[in-house]
Structure 1
Amino acid sequence: MTDRRSFLIQTALAGAGALVAGAAGPLRAATAAAEPRWAPFAEAMVVDACGFLGDDEAKVGDPLTPRLIADARASGLRVLQTTVGPVAQYEGAFEATVRDIAAWEDEIARRPDVFLAVRSGADLERARREKKLGVVYQFQDSAPIGEKLERIDDYHRLGLRTVQLTYNVRNLAGDGCLEPGDAGLSKFGHSLIERLNQRRILVDLAHSGRRTALEAIAASKSPVLISHTGCAALVERPRNKTDAELRACAQRGGVIGIYLMPFLRETGQPGAADVIRHLEHAIQVCGEDHVGIGTDNLVSAVKLTEAYKRDHAESIRERRKLGISAPGEAEDVYLYVEGLNAPSRFETLAALLSARGHSDARIGKILGGNFARVMAEVWG
């Protein structure tokens, strides 16, 4: 496949701190330990609500290498919701999306011992039981649908199960998080949500403008996801959600996922303590039944080579030219979290949460139980 940064850059180009006082010390010590373990992990439902399999050397559509397959196995993930189709691009989006799905279908067919195509709640449980990686197709922009709502039926037959209404900028459905007008959901956006509800496809509000998110939550007859975000109450960034958005999502039965992205802190490279801080704030606002993890990261570890640094800086510059770069993106802040830069990051997070006093039941929900519950409810 490819890495998340290159995927989003290429598709767009085609169309155009520390925890509270007293808590930081123990957490830093735990983060430094070699791969902390959490005993129930092997049987847990582990869901990354937004993730990518690939590396910086791969091109879009390349088969997965043995190393990437090994990383997928080592991750312990049972469900990976991964992006197909372009962002910020309407022309040729349908064809590009079909190609992306076809590439993944070929990969799943090649390695049935590793992957499982997820279409329903039963598939989620089967992936957990058989210890395979269930693959869910998601859009990070409704642009591939264009103005043709009937395409939703076609995409559903091809396996699409989650649609993010907007990327960072305005589209036909509504305003993304970078639009200063924050005009909210369009008339077409209301019709789009209605059709998605009818087809039992999840609505995702990551990247959306704040008014768009609140209006979409109210409009949807089904629970929604905010698959990958942070908490604006901790770090004010357009990509992070306010307590009002988080609370509204939870009150309607939805789930929010905390990402492993630079927006978790004001400056510098984020660390495991930042992720825990945002998770704990989200639990406080939403309740433990409505919080999960959507890394927005590669499954594999980022190798901080000079080539990676150079490519990363170039991609940030390109995103700025395209108008899709969010405040908080920086050429010298990379797409990983210190202490969690390994395929085993979910088990490490579980161990860190356990060390903080969170119960095994709560940790199981956060690792993926909450996402799996809502996915099964909406997909059937």
Structure 2
Amino acid sequence: MDRREFLLTAGAAGALLGVPAMARSQDAAPRPPQHPSLYIDAQGGLDGFEPDGKGGYTPTEKLIEGLKQRRIDVVSMTIAEVGNGPDRFRGAMEAIASWDKMIGEHPDLLIKVESAADLAAARAPGRCGLIYNFQDTTPLEADPSKAAMFGTLGVKIIQLTYNKRNLAGDGCLESANAGLSDFGREAIAEIEKANVLLDLSHSGQRTQAEGIAAAKRPPAITHSGCRALVDFPRNTYDAEMKALADKGGVFGVYLMPFLRAKGQPGREDLIRHLEHAVKVCGEDHVGIGTDGPFLGYEVNDETRKRQREFYEDRAKRGIAAPGEGADVLNLVEGYNDATRYDQLAADLKARGWSSARVDKLLGDNFARLFTEVWKA
């Protein structure tokens, strides 16, 4: 089962995970419609659709209500398969067409985000902006010039590698840590030429360092954690985090098991990584990329069964990272529903964060980066 398929099926069931030791997250008040901030998930998924009986999908009331309350404004979602394999270009083209159709059928709910103007339009209550991204350069199929075509079709973020080695360079699970290839340098140049954001998540340490150095525009690491706190390959060393920030980029922290060395992560784990990232990068260069579904997971026996199957499939394909597990769900307890940004904002302010710093973290920093990179 593909990761994105799992996120959709697990997230669509809709019940919430309650954590007795913590306040219920749905108590967090939604932002007023006139609030100027943007909530941006730099790597996530928009679940909450159900079959309409006509071969298509329709939004659930839970999704509509969450968007009406401005629980999220913009989600960057992966629309193509990751990893090496056949037909990656064709699959990406079919996915673009499919999501274009979905957005066209629900114009009052969804907006395709390709510019700063689209980001602004996504502030309206009841709508959500969708950014198309690739978490791999495999859809380019050995032709870096295809980045321009995908950019024209609305793919606004392209990640260089996904865990293992591809033509562009080594992912974070490659023991050789060989860094960028010549093709990878060509791909970076073409991605930037197309006004598409370069994402270095999932890359190996040398690939990240060399990618940041090769970039002419600010790049991003949209979803990772701090390796100084938890030594897993999916997390990022301070040196690369600092280099990214020095180049004007943004480091997105995910809501994933890699935030702690063992067991299910909770609120304190996420906040610890956020505070470390701000210390290393500065408050203008940190954001959120949840790597999870907007409505969260229903936690029950079926979800745990799917998690075991999901992990076993990834382990079989060699793309499961240390820190993943058959019995650890891809979520942070206490932030497992559509109110997670509101609740996180409240938690951070209770720790002394200013409203301005919280707004930067929850979307304004990525909005600034997107606007800068996407402009012609």
TM-score by length of 2: 0.90
* Partner residue, 1:45: 38
Residue 95 (structure 1) aligned with residue 105 (structure 2) = no
The alignment's C-alpha RMSD in Å is: 2.3
Is residue 25–residue 343 contact of structure 2 (8 Å, CA) maintained in 1? no
Alignment of structure 1 residues 14-29 onto 2, 5 Å: none
State the SS of the aligned residue for 1:49. strand
CA distance in 2, matches of 1:48, 1:156: 20
State the SS of the aligned residue for 2:251. strand
**Offset, 1:293:** 0.3
**Unaligned segments of structure 1, at least 5 residues:** 10-27
Q: 1:66 aligns with which of 38, 60, 67?
A: 60
Which amino acid in 2 is paired with 1:272? R
Is residue 36–residue 352 contact of structure 1 (8 Å, CA) maintained in 2? no
Is residue 3–residue 310 contact of structure 2 (8 Å, CA) maintained in 1? no
* Partner residue, 2:15: none
Change (3 A) 1:65 1:129: closer
Which amino acid in 1 is paired with 2:153? L
Is residue 7–residue 45 contact of structure 2 (8 Å, CA) maintained in 1? no
* Partner residue, 1:12: none
Identity rate, percent: 44
**Offset, 1:39:** 5.8
Q: 1:216 aligns with which of 204, 207, 211?
A: 211
Is residue 289–residue 365 contact of structure 1 (8 Å, CA) maintained in 2? yes
* Partner residue, 1:128: 123
* Partner residue, 2:16: none
* Partner residue, 1:13: none
CA distance in 1, matches of 2:124, 2:366: 17
Which amino acid in 1 is paired with 2:4? R
Which amino acid in 2 is paired with 1:332? D
* Partner residue, 1:281: 276
Residue 306 (structure 1) aligned with residue 301 (structure 2) = yes
CA distance in 1, matches of 2:29, 2:71: 12
Residue 262 (structure 1) aligned with residue 257 (structure 2) = yes
- Greater per-residue helix proportion: 1
**Unaligned segments of structure 2, at least 5 residues:** 10-19
Is residue 70–residue 125 contact of structure 2 (8 Å, CA) maintained in 1? no
CA distance in 2, matches of 1:378, 1:72: 29
Q: Deviations over 1:289-310 (max 9, x none)?
A: 0000000001112111211111
Q: 2:316 aligns with which of 313, 316, 321?
A: 321
**Offset, 1:104:** 1.1
The 10-residue stretch of structure 1 (369-378 or 148-157) with the greater mean CA deviation from structure 2: 148-157
Is residue 235–residue 266 contact of structure 1 (8 Å, CA) maintained in 2? yes
Residue 243 (structure 1) aligned with residue 243 (structure 2) = no
**Offset, 1:127:** 1.2
Q: Deviations over 1:307-346 (max 9, x none)?
A: 1111110110111110000000011110111111111101
Alignment of structure 1 residues 340-379 onto 2, 5 Å: 340-379=335-374
Is residue 214–residue 245 contact of structure 1 (8 Å, CA) maintained in 2? yes
**Offset, 1:46:** 0.6
CA distance in 1, matches of 2:314, 2:21: 36
* Partner residue, 1:4: 4
Q: 1:204 aligns with which of 199, 202, 217?
A: 199
Change (3 A) 1:149 1:239: same
**Offset, 1:131:** 5.5
CA distance in 2, matches of 1:122, 1:57: 30
State the SS of the aligned residue for 1:297. coil
Which amino acid in 1 is paired with 2:200? L
CA distance in 2, matches of 1:38, 1:75: 7
CA distance in 2, matches of 1:189, 1:205: 11
Which amino acid in 2 is paired with 1:6? F
Is residue 76–residue 344 contact of structure 1 (8 Å, CA) maintained in 2? yes
Is residue 64–residue 126 contact of structure 2 (8 Å, CA) maintained in 1? no
Q: Deviations over 1:116-147 (max 9, x none)?
A: 11111121112125662111000001100111
Which amino acid in 1 is paired with 2:197? L
Change (3 A) 1:64 1:199: same
Is residue 40–residue 288 contact of structure 2 (8 Å, CA) maintained in 1? yes
CA distance in 2, matches of 1:189, 1:301: 35
Q: 2:72 aligns with which of 77, 84, 108?
A: 77
Which amino acid in 1 is paired with 2:27? E
State the SS of the aligned residue for 2:132. strand
How many residues get paired? 359
Is residue 40–residue 74 contact of structure 2 (8 Å, CA) maintained in 1? yes
* Partner residue, 1:23: none
Q: Deviations over 1:5-58 (max 9, x none)?
A: 63799xxxxxxxxxxxxxxxxxx9765565234767843211000001237998
Is residue 46–residue 294 contact of structure 2 (8 Å, CA) maintained in 1? yes
CA distance in 2, matches of 1:37, 1:359: 18
State the SS of the aligned residue for 2:122. helix
TM-score by length of 1: 0.89
Is residue 48–residue 60 contact of structure 2 (8 Å, CA) maintained in 1? no
State the SS of the aligned residue for 2:108. coil
State the SS of the aligned residue for 2:86. coil
CA distance in 2, matches of 1:310, 1:349: 29
Alignment of structure 1 residues 287-302 onto 2, 5 Å: 287-302=282-297
Is residue 90–residue 144 contact of structure 1 (8 Å, CA) maintained in 2? no
CA distance in 1, matches of 2:115, 2:258: 32
Q: Deviations over 1:143-201 (max 9, x none)?
A: 00111123212211210000000000000000000000100010100010011111111
Which amino acid in 2 is paired with 1:4? R
The 10-residue stretch of structure 1 (126-135 or 364-373) with the greater mean CA deviation from structure 2: 126-135
Change (3 A) 1:34 1:315: closer
